[in-house]
Amino acid sequence: MAFLEIKSLCKSFESYSVLKDIDLSIEKGEFVVFVGPSGCGKSTLLRMITGLETPTSGTIAIEDEVINDVDPARRGTAMVFQSYALYPHMTVFQNISFGLRMSRKPKALIRERVEKAAAILRLDKLLDRKPAQLSGGQKQRVAIGRAIVREPRVFLFDEPLSNLDAELRVQMRAELLELHERLGTTMIYVTHDQVEAMTLADKMVVMSGGRIQQYGRPLDLYDDPDNKFVAGFVGSPK
């Protein structure tokens, strides 16, 4: 089995079927980017992997363990949201360490992990600030820091750069690639931005209508799209 294995996964809200029979294998350490139009079910899929939603049917397994019924805190996943979701009354240090403090990790370990993450994210001089005193890019780095200190086996990113201006988005893409290179952790990333997807992805998953249209390396999708939707989405002339 692959590192992360999704089999016959379906999700409906009442009678509305959002995800239809998703099958996908992700290898350890891969940077996998999901793209597709708004409403096609990208966020719902991430939320099921991290445990914020329950599948209607099918299975999600990580390292040979089906996680459908595993407590979200024990899945080894960490999600970064578009909205940052920082606590305004807490400092950067407190925001980054929040999850570790809740799980009552030793103080020395907390400090060590926060300092390590802050160094990677260039937040080391900002640990005493409150979110209101940070730029958009710095806030998003804090949100990423909060995920890093949990040392997850999978990072889940849900359109993390959508709220940033164009220039900063380009810079943050480079930082995310650097982070991936440095940590080697499996990353699952959602965006509706084709350029972002082509830049970041080892593998790309093109979705529409709750189904996977094609899965593969960005260049292979560009050179050999399975259908017109994929061709249009990756900008292929075919």
Residue number with CB closer to ligand ADP (118 or 187): 187
- Residue 76 partner contact from Mg ion, ligand ADP, none using kind-dependent CB cut-offs of 5 to 8 Å: none
Residues that bind Mg ion (CB under 5 A): 43
Residues that bind ligand ADP (CB under 6 A): 13, 18, 36, 38-44
Residue number with CB closer to Mg ion (46 or 201): 46
Residue number with CB closer to ligand ADP (29 or 232): 232
- Residue 185 partner contact from ligand ADP, Mg ion, none using kind-dependent CB cut-offs of 5 to 8 Å: none
Q: Smallest distance, Å, CB 42 to ligand ADP?
A: 3
Residue number with CB closer to Mg ion (80 or 134): 80
Q: Smallest distance, Å, CB 53 to ligand ADP?
A: 7
Residue number with CB closer to ligand ADP (22 or 67): 22
- Residue 13 partner contact from Mg ion, ligand ADP, none using kind-dependent CB cut-offs of 5 to 8 Å: ligand ADP
Can you spell out the DSSP letters for the chain? --SEEEEEEEEEETTEEEEEEEEEEE-TT-EEEEE--TTSSHHHHHHHHHTSS--SEEEEEETTEE-TTS-GGGS-EEEEETT----TTS-HHHHHHHHHHHTT--HHHHHHHHHHHHHHTT-TT-TT--GGGS-HHHHHHHHHHHHHTT--SEEEEESTTTTS-HHHHHHHHHHHHHHHHHH--EEEEEES-HHHHHHH-SEEEEEETTEEEEEE-HHHHHHS-SSHHHHHHHT---
Q: Smallest distance, Å, CB 158 to ligand ADP?
A: 7
